[in-house]
């Protein structure tokens, strides 16, 4: 979970023996993380800005963030962490809730925050459809690897969506939850933000959250698979 493709590649290069399956695993790992950095993150961040634009705020557009150009969204440290530990981030999209004048501020906060994870899930759905189409026309080993890459990236995409929906700062889930909570509860969470975050991170590192994360991700993947029933 926390071993990124660069670490996997390093371990492979210095291992005593290398099998074909190990090489394929590392290649798929590198491929999926590059897709996340150059495709998934930009779509996620652009979705935040697009929703804000729809609601009346053009801040992201004015700052050049309403684009799928990955270089407008890449955070160098976040990309490096993604390659090393598979936990990374992009530059946060600037959103001015006060300018989202088409809905109430709390509604705008929830909608702009939810847009990113939903975009990830939609992208996962598209990748599952592509995966099934490749399988239907599978004739070569290369095609099998492409299918694996598509499915693997869809899984990670769903995981990132679920991860971003965790209801603590600085994740999108916190803003979604904050739009429904009373002011005192939001203030308490903001005041104790660092403590809550490090407790969460510790639970994550020790695998305590593996089961609920796994159940959520598997559940979404199951739903996306069923939603693509027309491809078998």
Say how far apart CA 5 and CA 32 lie, in whole Å: 9
Q: Token pair for residue 150?
A: 């598509």
Nearest C-alpha neighbor of 172 from the set 227, 95, 84: 95
Nearest C-alpha neighbor of 120 from the set 169, 74, 153: 153
Q: For tokens 């080993």, name the residue.
A: 141
Please provide residue 191's backbone torsions phi and psi, each rounded to the nearest 5 degrees. Answer: -65, -35
Say how far apart CA 117 and CA 131 lie, in whole Å: 21
Candidates 8, 20, 45, 61; catalytic one: 45
Say how far apart CA 84 and CA 11 lie, in whole Å: 12
45 part of the active site = yes
**Do residues 48 and 113 make contact, with C-beta atoms less than 8 angstroms apart?**
yes
**Do residues 74 and 37 make contact, with C-beta atoms less than 8 angstroms apart?**
yes
Grouping H, G, I as helix, E, B as strand and the rest as coil, residue 104 is coil
Supply the residues annotated as catalytic: 45
């Amino acid at each position: 979970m926390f071993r990124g493709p660069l670490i996997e590649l390093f371990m492979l290069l210095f291992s005593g023996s290398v099998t074909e399956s190990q090489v394929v695993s590392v290649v798929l790992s590198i491929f999926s993380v590059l897709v996340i950095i150059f495709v998934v993150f930009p779509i996620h961040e652009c979705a935040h800005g697009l929703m804000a634009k729809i609601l009346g705020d053009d801040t992201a557009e004015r700052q050049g963030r309403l684009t799928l150009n990955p270089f407008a969204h890449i955070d160098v440290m976040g990309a490096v962490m993604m390659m090393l530990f598979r936990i990374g981030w992009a530059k946060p999209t600037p959103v001015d809730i006060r300018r989202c004048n088409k809905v109430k501020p709390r509604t705008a906060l929830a909608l702009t925050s939810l847009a990113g994870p939903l975009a990830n899930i939609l992208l996962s759905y598209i990748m599952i459809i592509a995966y099934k189409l490749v399988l239907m026309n599978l004739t070569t080993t290369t095609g099998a690897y492409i299918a694996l890459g598509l499915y693997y990236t869809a899984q990670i995409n769903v995981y990132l969506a679920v991860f971003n929906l965790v209801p603590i700062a600085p994740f999108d889930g916190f803003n979604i939850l904050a739009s429904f909570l009373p002011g005192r509860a939001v203030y308490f969470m903001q005041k104790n933000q660092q403590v809550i975050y490090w407790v969460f991170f510790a639970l994550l590192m020790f695998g305590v959250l593996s089961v609920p994360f796994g159940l959520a991700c598997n559940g979404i993947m199951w739903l996306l698979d069923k939603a693509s029933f027309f491809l078998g």
